[in-house]
Amino acid sequence: MDAYRSKTRFTRNLWLTFGLFCALSVAFIVYVRAEQAIGDANDLRWRSILLGSELREASNDLTRTARSYIATGNPVFKYCHQRIQAMLSGAAPFAEQYESPCWNLNTQGVHAKSMLQNQPALTLSALIEAGRFTEEEKRLLTEAITQITRLNQRDVRAIALADTPRSPSDDPEEAALGPLRSPAYYEEKNAALQRIHQFMQLVSERTRADVDHAKQIAQEIRWLFIVLALALMGLLITTYRALNTTLGGTIDLIHEQLERMGRGDFTQPIAIGPDQENSVMDWLGRTQVQLSELERTRHENEAQIARITRLYAAMSQCNQAIVRCHNQEELFAQICQDAVRFGGMNMAWIGLIDPKTQSIGPAAAYGDKTGYLENFRIPLNPEKPGSHGPTGTAIRENRPYWCQDFQHDPSTLLWRPGAAKAGWKSSAALPLHRGGRIIGAFMLYSEETNAFDDAAQQLLIEMSADISFALDNFERDKQRERAEAERIAALDRLQKITHHVPGMVYEYRLDADGRSSFPFASDGVRKIYQVAPEDIVEDASIVFTRIHPDDLASVSASIARSARDLTPWQHEYRVFFEDGSVHWLYGNSLPVREPDGSTVWTGFITDISRQKADEARIAHLSNFDVLTGLPNRILLQEHIQYDLASAARSKTALTLMFLDLDHFKNINDTLGHAVGDELLILVARRLQGLLRPQDTLSRQGGDEFILVLPECDADHAARIARRMQEQFVQPFVIDRHELTIALSIGIALYPSDGQDFNTLSKHADIAMYRAKQSGRNDYRFFTPEMQTHSDRVMRLDSALRKALAREEFHLMYQPQIEIATGRIIGAETLLRWQHPDLGQISPAEFIPIAEDNGQILPIGEWVLKTAARQTRQWLQDRDHAFLIAVNLSAIQFRQPNLPQRVLEILHETGLPPEHLELELTERIAMDDPVTAIEIISTLRKQGVRLSIDDFGTGYSSLSLLKRFQVYKLKIDQSFVRDMTEDPEDRAIVHTIITMAHSLGLTTIAEGVENAEQLALLQEMGCEESQGYFTGRPMSADSFGELLQAQFGAQT
């Protein structure tokens, strides 16, 4: 309580000391100000006295300078007078310390002038204001200055009077000085001096009172300052004593104790007396005790940390051993060694349960220096002695057992002598597990009591858990090794099974972290990916480097989708190899999700390159011509649909051309199809060389082509057609054959000739046939007239196919006569078609149609068979030299079985061969002369006669004509018709007859229409004739009657 009161008194004294110091400061300030007031009052009195004196001097100087100037005329005095006047009026500065300028005045006036000019620049009014005068004092000064100014005016008038010129008789000095010496002047001057004196007296009295008052205050302050200083000294002494009481000792003693505590020396306690309680020294003593306790705790914590650190080190070594060791024997030995070397234990051992003996014995140990573990067994049966020790209890109760004081723990009674010999003071026993089952225990021994605190227990529990985890891993590794061995055996069997399976059978694994591998891949992977199976067991990345860059993203996406949705993976993709080859693969597999989050696919991958190639070839064949590689009709339709749509949008023209090679069949028949195919290829290439990129050339089959030209009008189309025909003038060289072939071109324009492909192609086809009919090697634009003709041709074509069955055909016979006798020697069979709707149709119109649609063969056979049967009926076994002439078309003549079929018909009808004459046109015979010679020779050997029809219209070779072995030439009616008027025709007819006679051939003229023609023919030596003049075509009955009449007449 005294210390508290001392502390309170010390604090109060400090505050009082501070208060006294502040009071001293205030007193000193007041004293200083009082001294300043004394100085200010004295200064004011001195300034007022000085100012009054200066005004009095200035007034006297005005009078003196004026009188001096008047008396002497020296201008210096006048100048001084003016300067003093200016100072009094405020027009010039007033010297603060004024000295009379008239004193020590020299005649030059230089000193006086310079003295006046060097005075401080203060006006009289400024001096009055700076003097801090009262109003009364200012009034007296002002009145004095006013009176001085009035006196100065008299001085100025006197000076002016002195300067005024006067007559010599006048005395200027007396006149000027008189006013300055008058009584009034002196009275007024005395009044001004009186005002100055009153001013000085007032100021003196006032300032003297202020000085006395300030001196009194200063004296009082001096006494107060002395009293306060004495009080402050006494208070400081009292405060010092209170401080000693609060500290509980001297400052030196406090410093000594603090220095010793700072060195960490807490061995000598601080002695505290009764009077030092609650003092600083008392606080230091208690602090020393607390710091000593903290130091002791620190040492204990350091020891604990050291133990924990050693246990952490042992645990770290244990974890490393778990990673490094491959079996439990190696692990147990390392764990025991690490627990002693790094964990600070004296001994450690691991025991395993023996199921047979139901006891536990050491499996590994380290640190047993006394042989403690020799023949050491601990029974686990609770009824046997020794089963209730730390180890047995830990195993039986499945919990750690901590023995903190080995020599006093009841459970260690049997083992205390051995522990005392080894120096053990505490131990720990922790159960070990494998697969959730207790298999043994981990025991540790320490030379310290209570060595296993909470932190150490936790670490050792974690260490035992790590050991148990390692034992589980060892067990799993054994199971994995067994499973791996079984898997390898199964894979070997699977490899043998899949060795001959096309493609590869595989198992693909995708881990959750994105890594992939092929745990199994059959030998087929060597062909599929060109890698070895062992190269992808751990890492499948090399497989993905084989996948084509354009397909890699889709493959990865399909795998990810299959893994996400667990749907079957099916994908077609390409791979490329180092040799540059590209192969198509097809993969099919089923995914399964593994417990660890990975996905495993099992399936197969096969090479489908051949299948893809076949598909591509099929796709190509479905769209392109096999021979020329040009688009076929299917692809052409796709192109033209696009071109037609574009033309419709842009309102532009489009041209479709139908091209046909003239006489291409002759090349095929004479040189073979190989040459014909090569010619078609070369034709396609030559045509492509004339086209633009947007044009489409298509082969329709045989020797027909279609050309589509977008943005092509009629003029452009004509230029293209002419250019193509010009290009085809150049021959094609194939196997040393130079082949020249021409084009017949039909042209249809969009939109005028049609707005769809079918219409345009039909119209172009019609135009092409018209070009052929016009002599071939030409082009024609489609016209509506062609459509009309085409419609008729189509109708006739359809009707022709039914005409034979409907018996719409009949034969007419025109007599052939011997000119010399006029006797009928034969007849030409003429085919007629009577359509029920169209009426009589000319052979010139329907025969070409029949040749095009193939009906000419059955019609021709019908004609031959009907004419032969009719002729057999006419002859009726008569032996007459009568011939029935039947025309053969080019189609019939090209039939390889023509001779055989002719003989069969003759045999069937019973007509002798010598009565049949087959007529060939000159052009048919010359198209394939080799074949013609062979056929003619065969028929001639059988007795059938052959003649050349329309002779003179073709290009016969005389050498070939001789080899044909024909017996008759029929002169074309175009020469006979005008021979009587046209000498050229007559010459041609004569030449033909002469040539025939030279070759031993008979001649017959057709188209004889009058007697003049007949007579001329007879004159030229022509043997036979045929025409309207000698006999019109007639029916079989009419001709039979005519023939019967001739036969009867002959009889």
What is the mean predicted confidence (pLDDT) over 511-535?
89
Q: Quote the pLDDT of residue 126.
A: 67
Check residue 516 and give left, alpha or beta (phi > 0: left; psi -120 to 50: alpha): beta
Higher model confidence: residue 633 or residue 831?
Answer: 831
Q: Can you read off the two tokens belonging to residue 504? A: 């590869």
In this predicted model, what pLDDT tens digit does every residue of 173-210 receive, in sequence order? 667 777 777 787 777 778 777 888 877 777 777 777 77
Please report how many Cα atoms fall inside a 13 Å half-sphere around the Cα of residue 564, on the Cβ side. 6
Q: Can you read off the two tokens belonging to residue 203? A: 């100021």
Residue 681 has pLDDT above 90, yes or no: yes
Show Cβ contacts of residue 848 under 8 Å, excluding neighbours closer than 6 positions.
none
Highest average pLDDT, of 13-17, 497-501, 555-559, comes from: 555-559
Residue 1011 has pLDDT above 80, yes or no: yes
Q: What are phi and psi of 94, to 5 degrees?
A: -110, 125
Q: Quote the pLDDT of residue 578.
A: 85
Higher model confidence: residue 294 or residue 629?
Answer: 629
In this predicted model, what pLDDT tens digit does every residue of 735-746 receive, in sequence order? 888 898 999 999
- In angstroms, the CA 426 to CA 199 distance is 116
What is the mean predicted confidence (pLDDT) over 550-566?
93
What is the mean predicted confidence (pLDDT) over 309-315?
71
- In angstroms, the CA 8 to CA 703 distance is 135
Q: Give yes or no for a contact between 855 and 800, defined as CB atoms under 8 angstroms apart.
A: yes
DSSP 636-663: HHHHHHHHHHHHHHHT--EEEEEEEETT
Please state whether beta strands 883-887 and 824-835 pair in parallel, antiparallel, or not at all (unpaired).
parallel
What is the mean predicted confidence (pLDDT) over 200-223?
77
What is the mean predicted confidence (pLDDT) over 261-269?
67
What is the mean predicted confidence (pLDDT) over 459-475?
85
Q: Quote the pLDDT of residue 117.
A: 41
- In angstroms, the CA 95 to CA 120 distance is 6
Residue 101 has pLDDT above 60, yes or no: no
Residue 283 has pLDDT above 80, yes or no: no
- In angstroms, the CA 964 to CA 681 distance is 36
- In angstroms, the CA 902 to CA 942 distance is 10
High-pLDDT (> 90) share of the chain, %: 31
What is the mean predicted confidence (pLDDT) over 465-484?
83
Taking CB atoms within 8 Å and a gap of at least 24, the contacts of 1019-1024 are 1020/989, 1020/990, 1020/993, 1021/993, 1021/994, 1021/997, 1022/819, 1022/971, 1022/989, 1022/993, 1023/818, 1023/819, 1023/820, 1024/816, 1024/817, 1024/818, 1024/819, 1024/825, 1024/968
**Sorting pLDDT into bands at 50, 70 and 90, what band is 937?**
confident
- In angstroms, the CA 517 to CA 699 distance is 53
Please report how many Cα atoms fall inside a 13 Å half-sphere around the Cα of residue 254, on the Cβ side. 16
| Residue that is written with structure tokens 């000419």 in the block | 856
Three-class secondary structure of residue 437 per DSSP: strand
Q: Give yes or no for a contact between 16 and 228, defined as CB atoms under 8 angstroms apart.
A: no
Q: Give yes or no for a contact between 1028 and 812, defined as CB atoms under 8 angstroms apart.
A: no
In this predicted model, what pLDDT tens digit does every residue of 855-886 receive, in sequence order? 999 999 999 999 999 999 988 856 678 899 99
Angle between helices 673-688 and 664-671 (to 10 degrees): 140
For residues 263-282, b (16+ Cβ closer than 10 Å) or e, as one string?
eeebeeebebeeebebbbbb
Q: Quote the pLDDT of residue 466.
A: 86
Angle (CA) 903 906 912, round 5°? 110
Q: Give yes or no for a contact between 942 and 912, defined as CB atoms under 8 angstroms apart.
A: no
- In angstroms, the CA 65 to CA 85 distance is 11
- In angstroms, the CA 1017 to CA 1021 distance is 6
Residue 551 has pLDDT above 90, yes or no: yes
High-pLDDT (> 70) share of the chain, %: 86
Angle (CA) 369 372 373, round 5°? 110
Cα pseudo-dihedral 113, 115, 118, 121, rounded to 10: -90
**Sorting pLDDT into bands at 50, 70 and 90, what band is 1020?**
very high
Residue 423 has pLDDT above 80, yes or no: yes
Q: Quote the pLDDT of residue 302.
A: 67
- In angstroms, the CA 698 to CA 635 distance is 9
What is the mean predicted confidence (pLDDT) over 962-981?
85
Q: Quote the pLDDT of residue 1014.
A: 93
Q: Quote the pLDDT of residue 108.
A: 39
Q: Quote the pLDDT of residue 115.
A: 36
Cis peptide, bond prior to residue 751, ω within 30 of zero: yes
Domains of the chain: 9-223 (1.20.120.1730), 312-476 (3.30.450.40), 495-608 (3.30.450.20), 624-782 (3.30.70.270), 800-1050 (3.20.20.450)
Q: Give yes or no for a contact between 1005 and 1028, defined as CB atoms under 8 angstroms apart.
A: no
Q: Quote the pLDDT of residue 869.
A: 94
Q: Quote the pLDDT of residue 905.
A: 93
Three-class secondary structure of residue 354 per DSSP: strand
Q: Quote the pLDDT of residue 119.
A: 43
Q: Quote the pLDDT of residue 2.
A: 47
Residue 1048 has pLDDT above 60, yes or no: yes
Show Cβ contacts of residue 910 under 8 Å, excluding neighbours closer than 6 positions.
872
What is the mean predicted confidence (pLDDT) over 263-282?
68
Show Cβ contacts of residue 527 under 8 Å, excluding neighbours closer than 6 positions.
504, 607
Q: Any idea which of 250-254, 478-482, 704-708, 965-969 has the lowest mean pLDDT?
A: 250-254
Q: Quote the pLDDT of residue 171.
A: 60
Q: Quote the pLDDT of residue 135.
A: 78
Q: Which uninterrupted H or E stretch holds 216?
A: helix 183-247
What is the pTM for the complete model shown? 0.40
Highest average pLDDT, of 133-137, 145-149, 812-816, 885-889, comes from: 812-816
- What is the maximal distance between C-alpha atoms in the chain? 225
Q: Which uninterrupted H or E stretch holds 761?
A: helix 757-773
Q: Give yes or no for a contact between 510 and 539, defined as CB atoms under 8 angstroms apart.
A: no
What is the mean predicted confidence (pLDDT) over 37-62?
75
Taking CB atoms within 8 Å and a gap of at least 24, the contacts of 414-420 are 414/385, 414/386, 414/389, 415/389, 418/370, 418/372, 419/445
Q: Give yes or no for a contact between 992 and 969, defined as CB atoms under 8 angstroms apart.
A: yes
Residue 217's Cβ-count burial label (10 Å; 0-12, 13-18, 19+) is: middle
What is the mean predicted confidence (pLDDT) over 830-835?
94
Q: Any idea which of 339-348, 439-448, 813-822 has the lowest mean pLDDT?
A: 339-348
DSSP 484-519: HHHHHHHHHHHHHHHTTSSSEEEEEEE-TTS-EEEE
Q: Quote the pLDDT of residue 33.
A: 76
Higher model confidence: residue 275 or residue 765?
Answer: 765
Q: Which residue in 941, 934, 996 sits closest to 963, CA to CA?
A: 934
Three-class secondary structure of residue 605 per DSSP: strand
- In angstroms, the CA 401 to CA 390 distance is 6
What is the mean predicted confidence (pLDDT) over 342-356?
87
Q: Give yes or no for a contact between 391 and 378, defined as CB atoms under 8 angstroms apart.
A: yes
Mean confidence (pLDDT) of the chain: 82
Q: Quote the pLDDT of residue 990.
A: 92
In this predicted model, what pLDDT tens digit does every residue of 77-90 receive, in sequence order? 878 887 887 777 66
Q: Quote the pLDDT of residue 1.
A: 44
What is the mean predicted confidence (pLDDT) over 499-516?
85
Rounded to an integer, what is the distance from CA 1019 to the centroid of its chain?
Answer: 101
What is the mean predicted confidence (pLDDT) over 941-947?
89
